[in-house]
Chains A and B, each alone.
Chain A
């Protein structure tokens, strides 16, 4: 920790050269808001016309722009809003707040963009960022008619997931646990409801979403693949409003409005599925089963004065399964965040956050009379400062500390006749800290750099016993049988509460460059190094809600990644089209994988079930977008490779898969997505979505034999085969009845068909004997065939 503080002081003093303050320059600062609901706008462009001086508003709508004394035209622009322009005489520091008009009367609440427009932003060094704008997200056809942010992001290059019915998403060949998912800065451990059918983000409560696929800014740390930064709406500060929707699976309702005598606003949004309706549609055999989910989003803010503002936000989501009373399970996230925005002066903006988040699951198996519970809790203190030093230099710096408490599992017998003994796996505690400084520096008219550094450290705290192993090897290899097994335990070391088991520290440099080739094209390059201290272990085909998060420590090292990216960006035909081409290479050290036949659930010594390894991924991404006119859309194509090798460090033996490189489960050679939206009239809009992906790597049998009167398969090397290619076409139509502008009630109908040609995409293929004939067969499980849907959305 001391080291970290030194690092912070060092970087800030280094990056704060006093000569940056030009003598005859002045600053305009303020906040940009939506005129209708008072929501602050993140990512609006604020610039002086005919100059290169410009900035983008931060997460809280704040901007600060500095220029030499003179007369300027200040332009504020944001996609979906009417540009504002104002003449300013810059002869003193000024504070100007602006409110923008939306350019359309469409029902439009999600703003999935953090940039001025969706087309390639050619000047900022920022690259490898995925964004989609609001109307677009709502128009992409989705299964069962639910607007889903996570699924929409998958239509962009470099983002895939494990297939229908799987949780999470994969970015540039990375694993699900390598994504940092933040909801109002709180870490979300499980992004899906109903095992991946819906994302946990209620579109009515979300203001904006940004996905960093690489070149992750230094203010983020803790995951090696990507950051999905989701921000909740502040709530309408102008008037009380209702938003909602009724779909075939779930309904949602949000209420928002001003509070505290117009010094603040609030938003309360809820969403729930109809369990009985769902279960009723299923065969009689499953009639006793219940399955449902709900979530609740809360946000409120209070403006103390012009310089100080408080925000409180919370999220609670839960999935509940109940199978014939014999098995009940529930799991979900809970998070809360208290924030204090403080503006020191017109150039320095700061934010302090206190964040809590929790993920837990509970399983009751009544036939065996026990409950199984597990959780991960964290407490996070975070402080960030934006310093708008001059018109060509902006500095962000700050730090955070996260305290983790992992409770990997407890078994409680539920009756005195239960066969199960009470058991509690060792709780694990850890402290993760990070400090960073990051500068955006306009070096010349054509060259802009973003450079930063993060120092992260991780202390695995004591308060638990740890098993010692002979030769310090938690896993041993039996060379004659050719199998790995757990190491020989030789007693325990009991670590006291104030002792640390292991400490790690890593410097994580981040660099981005943007070189403007012409007025409409640029080349960008990026490098980022990142450390990840907690790991999600799974040996199942898909990530499940009971997979175990485990911290680095004596036996498990932090994952360390390097990512290099190079991109070409061009806007053409009067900014109607944009083209983005990016190439990346990423390697990750200390990527662990499970041993053949490992048991991860209820395992106190997880180190005996895994081997240390590495992974690498590389690819080329294309994105061609048309963002103007009645017809808009994009074509995304990615060709990539993602593989891993697990040699097992100091453990003898060849490693997993004989020490050869093998495909990760998220390797997709080709990934194509074509999305088109056509506005026919003011009432009707049509859209479609065509997806093609190389099949997921799986393990197929390569022989059969008889044993114990059963014909069994012998399987080939891990992930050496593939499922058939995945493809489907979806279409949807949105009908907006004639809404008179003076009417407050605004509604729209969304009709959709998912998987129009009813392709039976294999979610998995299992191999076994036919129970009647005994003959071997391959059984395909396809989750969704053709699915029509209808939903009604409203706003009042």
Chain B
């Protein structure tokens, strides 16, 4: 909600803007870091035993990514209560998988990765998600009152702080659309997260039309992850005139061997509802 207000002023500045163009810029280069995408997402109603962790390294900003996958690391997750260990097996393509993970709601887990003789550690708690009450489509909501949008509607539980993360992905689309929200201003109410595409000739984008399909992943997340993903989403196209000043983003993966060489990414444990919606 708060970010929405700043987004508005980005809109206003665009209104005045006669011109945006793509230019060459020299940017600095930092040493590569390990990137940990350890998203242990437990789809509601499944056993959640199959999980994947992806490791890669960061590269120069304007370099075409050829091979930045990380192989040869040792990856394990431990249940902090009963010390059950889940070993993730190196698939030699940057992915590390397990088929025997046991998710427990509100249970804390520890991730340990040993890579290049350095040990990376992260802790996180499995966070539940509420059910989706309805998925609807409309035109009058959203930024454009003529364009189609999909609305994911859910009821926020009272008496607790809740944090949400949602990923929309149009079938055949290149990039997903990420949103986050919390119940600070909406506690106990019916909340809606929506995805609308506006027509934009510059990037060949059209509005949604009937038969377009959108995949939806709706997660309950921890406060720590919410803070992280807020900044991440803010910075997907950072640096506009009224945008928040971009900052170095740190997740929850520390390096116990060499604290300065912390990893990018996050160890998250979420319950998720996956579904898809076809526009009528």
Contact = CB atoms under 8 A, between A and B. Distances in A.
Interface of A: 165-166, 194-195, 197, 282, 285-286, 289, 291, 321, 323-327, 329, 363, 365, 367-368, 372, 411, 419-421, 423, 480-483, 485, 539-542, 544-546, 596-597, 599, 601-602, 698-718, 720-721, 760, 762-772, 774-785
A706 B63 CA distance: 13
B1 A602 contact: yes
A596 B248 contact: yes
A707 B13 contact: no
B29 interface: yes
B47 to A, nearest CB: 24
Complex A-B, nearest 6 residue pairs according to Cβ-Cβ distance, in ascending order: A766-B239, A768-B237, A596-B247, A702-B30, A771-B203, A703-B58
Contacts of B169: 709
14 contacts: A165-B16, A289-B15, A365-B4, A421-B186, A704-B59, A705-B264, A716-B28, A716-B30, A762-B23, A766-B238, A769-B175, A771-B174, A775-B64, A778-B27
Nearest to B191: A419
A331 B32 CA distance: 46
B7 to A, nearest CB: 10
B143 A714 contact: no
Which of B58, B185, B203 counts the most A-chain CB atoms under 10 A from its CB?
Answer: B185
B6 A419 contact: no
Contact of A710 (B6, B30, B236, B247): B236
Interface in B135-176: 141-145, 167, 169, 174-176
Interface string B205-240: 100000000000000000000010011100111111
A778 B61 CA distance: 10
A756 to B, nearest CB: 16
Interface stretch (B78-86, B108-116, B126-134, B249-257): B249-257
Given A596-B247, A596-B248, A715 B235 contact: yes
Contact of B246 (A419, A708, A713): A713
Q: Which label, helix, strand, loop or mixed, suits the secondary structure of the B interface?
A: loop
Contacts of A762: 23
B33 interface: yes
Contact of A703 (B6, B17, B30, B191): B30
A541 B240 contact: yes
A709 B12 contact: no
A718 B238 contact: no
A282 B15 contact: yes
Contacts, number: 279
Contact of B59 (A194, A420, A542, A703): A703
Contacts of A709: 169, 175-176
Given A698-B239, A768-B236, 15 more contacts: A363-B8, A421-B188, A480-B259, A539-B244, A541-B243, A596-B247, A597-B249, A601-B5, A602-B185, A702-B61, A714-B30, A714-B33, A766-B238, A768-B238, A784-B18
A707 B249 CA distance: 12
B21 A780 contact: yes
A704 B15 contact: no
B78 to A, nearest CB: 17
B235 A195 contact: no
B24 interface: yes
B178 A541 contact: no
B35 to A, nearest CB: 4
Given A601-B2, A701-B27, A165 B13 contact: yes
Contacts of A701: 27, 61, 246
Contacts of A327: 8, 11, 143
B62 to A, nearest CB: 6
B19 A195 contact: no
Contact of A421 (B12, B16, B185, B204): B185
Nearest to B217: A708
B9 A546 contact: yes
B250 A482 contact: yes
Interface residues of B, number: 93
B265 interface: yes
B231 A596 contact: yes
A287 to B, nearest CB: 11
Contacts of A714: 30, 33, 58, 248-249, 264
Contacts of B246: 699, 701, 713, 715
Contacts of A772: 174, 203-204
Contacts of A166: 241
A274 to B, nearest CB: 15
Nearest to B169: A709
Contacts of B22: 770, 777-780
A324 B250 CA distance: 37
B20 to A, nearest CB: 5
Which of B188, B240, B266 counts the most A-chain CB atoms under 10 A from its CB?
Answer: B240
B60 A324 contact: no
Nearest to B27: A700
B43 interface: no
B143 A324 contact: yes
Contact of B143 (A367, A770, A781): A367
Contact of A601 (B6, B231, B237, B266): B6
Contacts of A485: 227
B58 A704 contact: yes
Contacts of B265: 705, 707
A285 B19 CA distance: 15
Contact of B238 (A372, A546, A706, A715): A715
Contacts of A321: 12
B60 A707 contact: no
B30 A767 contact: no
A704 B18 contact: no
A701 B58 CA distance: 12
A766 B240 contact: yes
A761 B92 CA distance: 47
Given A421-B186, A601-B2, A713-B246, A770 B203 contact: yes
Interface in B27-43: 27-30, 32-33, 35, 37, 39
B192 interface: yes
